[in-house]
Structure 1
Amino acid sequence: MTRYVALGSSMAAGPGIAPRVSDSPRAAGRSARNYAHLVATARGYDLVDVTYSGATTAHILTDSQRGAPPQIDALDGSEALVTITIGGNDVGYVPLLFAAGLPRAARAIPLLGGRLRGLLNPAERYLALDAVGAALVEVGRTVRQRSPRATVLFVDYLTLLPTAGVAARPLSDRDVSLGRHVAGELERLTAEAAATTGCGVVRAGAASREHHAWSSDPWTTRFGWPVPRRPAPLHPNAAGMRAVADLVLDELSNFSTHC
């Protein structure tokens, strides 16, 4: 069978979308209906899914995560397809939005308040964005070296936030503006890393502009508290994972047509 390895964070893992992959670590939040599983089923691929909630680029390249080896170790050179969704945790994208949704009084709580204020500080987010571009390039370059015969696709994040002028309560307009900037820069840097390293890019963010979390047909969930057996807040829902899978399948079809 054709081997397919899926790398990435919770945006690829699909925490809370039932059913969970039965033999996976609970902390990974790995859904049997995430986009990788849907693509593998549609194509008849042999999937190795090592996506893990909370993963950063370092967890792909070098660092263990809760006892799991770096995700790059799943590559043995035989794979025909590798997908990568990563970078948001490096820049605190979803944590920023969670911090924005908490009551403002929480920002005055010792220790916690400092963390929240840091997440909502534009200067700190800009510094993190400055660093993640090089990290994404290193991910793409390393995957290409490990899997020289594979089609390698960066899959960027689904759009979470509405366009300017549309409220995203309980998040303030100021915090939403910062989150929107971080999301836009992640998209740009992901596309640049793909181009620099000879990888493809699946533009899930652009495809989901009208399906943000506050829309009438959302592909992601809104801010809120986690509920057991429900998709995680500010993450893809089942419809979003299906949409991303379709985008990946379209990209694979286009790639085959032009090869």
Structure 2
Amino acid sequence: MKRLLHGMVGALVLAGTALGLTAPAEAATVQYVALGDSMASGPLIPNITGPVGCGRSTNNYAHKLAAALNANLRDVTCSGAKSKHMTESQSTSVGGVDTGTVPPQFDALSTSTTLVTLTIGGNDVGLVGIAEDCMNLDPTATPCKGEFEAEVAQRTADFGPRLSAVLDGIRARAPQARIVVTGYGLYIKKDGCWPLQPVLPTDANFLQGAVNAMNGVIRDQTTAHGGTYIDLVTPSAGHDACQSTSKRWVEGYVPVNLAAPLHPNAQGEAAYATIIGSKLNA
């Protein structure tokens, strides 16, 4: 295919020369800005780049995607980011130690930006903290679902308008950009895998169900704003935290690959980049 395309371009250039026309210019380099939270930044995946408190990795999906696209990348993803940190400075820390503040992520956008990826919502809904609270080593214990279900549903509903404002803000600052918004992946399979991942079957379904509900909000808002939504749950089947070390794309409560607990590992970030790239090509 590549040879065929080169041949077609060459033929067009020769034809244009014969007609006294100038050759077409090279395609402009993609100006890519990556926005988002720790699912996008890749904390504890080697190697660290940027502010240490952001946990940003050179092997996160943005870096992998930029390399595949030969794009100029501005990666401002940051662990702990919420939707408000698109327009507000964010305080960062490592292990409870203050590591300073980072500028609003929207500062990276401009009228020359041609591609934006966004992963946001997990911290608005507070899913990692709730997953930690739901950890249970007693199989006879009361599931945590009843304690958190209403709270998660309300936070998820509240997130919708915030995401809408974020998408409007991206479009206002980067009017020429293609906006690509990812959902979150499959963290734990149906009914879980207690005690490998210490969460009861009812709570495993509740937690992944909360991710799926948040993904629904992300999908609907992205579509309504003319963006491209990336489903990461479906292609993540067989790669959740219950799987073997070599198969999992996300880590469980105790990581077995270099990555933060309950976050994607390097293999997951690379897979996400491939999934996003395939959608862009399509």
Q: Quote how far apart the aligned CAs of 1:174 are.
A: 3.0
The corresponding residue for 1:76 is 110
1:142 maps onto 2:166 in alignment = no
Query: 1:129 aligns to what?
Result: 156
Which consecutive residues of structure 2, in runs of 5 or more, have no partner in the other structure?
1-28, 93-100, 139-143
User: Is 2:49 the counterpart of 1:32?
Assistant: no
CA drift of 1:65 comes to 3.3
User: Is 1:16–2:50 an aligned residue pair?
Assistant: no
Q: What does residue range 32-71 of structure 1 map to in structure 2 within 5 Å?
A: 32-66=58-92, 67-71=101-105
For these two proteins, the number of residue pairs brought into alignment is 238
Indicate the structure with greater helix content: 1
CA shift in 2, pair 1:120/1:53, >3 Å: farther
Measured against aligned partners, the alpha-carbon deviations of 1:150-188 in whole angstroms (never above 9, x if no partner) come to 111001112101124754631122322321221111110
Following superposition, the deviation at residue 234 of structure 1 comes to: 0.7
**What residue identity is the alignment partner of 1:238?**
A
Aligned equivalents of 1:78, 1:205: Cα separation in 2: 32
Q: Measure, in 2, the Cα distance between the counterparts of 1:165 and 1:240.
A: 19
Mapping of residues 83-162 of structure 1, within 5 Å: 83-101=117-135, 120-162=147-189
Superposed CA RMSD in Å reads: 2.2
3-state SS of 1:121 partner: helix
After TM superposition, give the deviation of residue 204 of structure 1 in Å: 1.3
Deviations 1:43-65, CA, capped at 9 Å, x for gaps: 11110000000111111233433
Name which structure has the greater RCO, CA cutoff 8 Å, separation 6+.
1
For 1:218, the aligned partner's letter is: R
1:220 aligned partner: 250
Q: CA deviation digits over 1:102-157, x for unaligned, max 9?
A: 668xxxxxxxxxxxx89952111111011011111111121112111111100111
Equivalent position amino acid for 2:110 in 1: D
Quote the Cα distance in structure 1 between the aligned partners of 2:146 and 2:276: 31
* Percent identity of equivalent pairs: 34
Within 2, Cα distance between the matches of 1:165 and 1:242?
Answer: 24
Asked whether the equivalents of residues 156 and 187 of structure 1 are also in contact (C-alpha less than 8 Å), the reply is: yes
Q: In the superposition, relative to structure 1, how do residues 234 and 144 fare at CA in structure 2: closer, same or farther (>3 Å)?
A: same
CA distance in 1, matches of 2:211, 2:90: 26
Query: If the length of structure 1 is used for normalisation, what is the TM-score?
Result: 0.85
Asked if 2 retains the 8 angstrom alpha-carbon contact of 1:213 and 1:219, the reply is yes
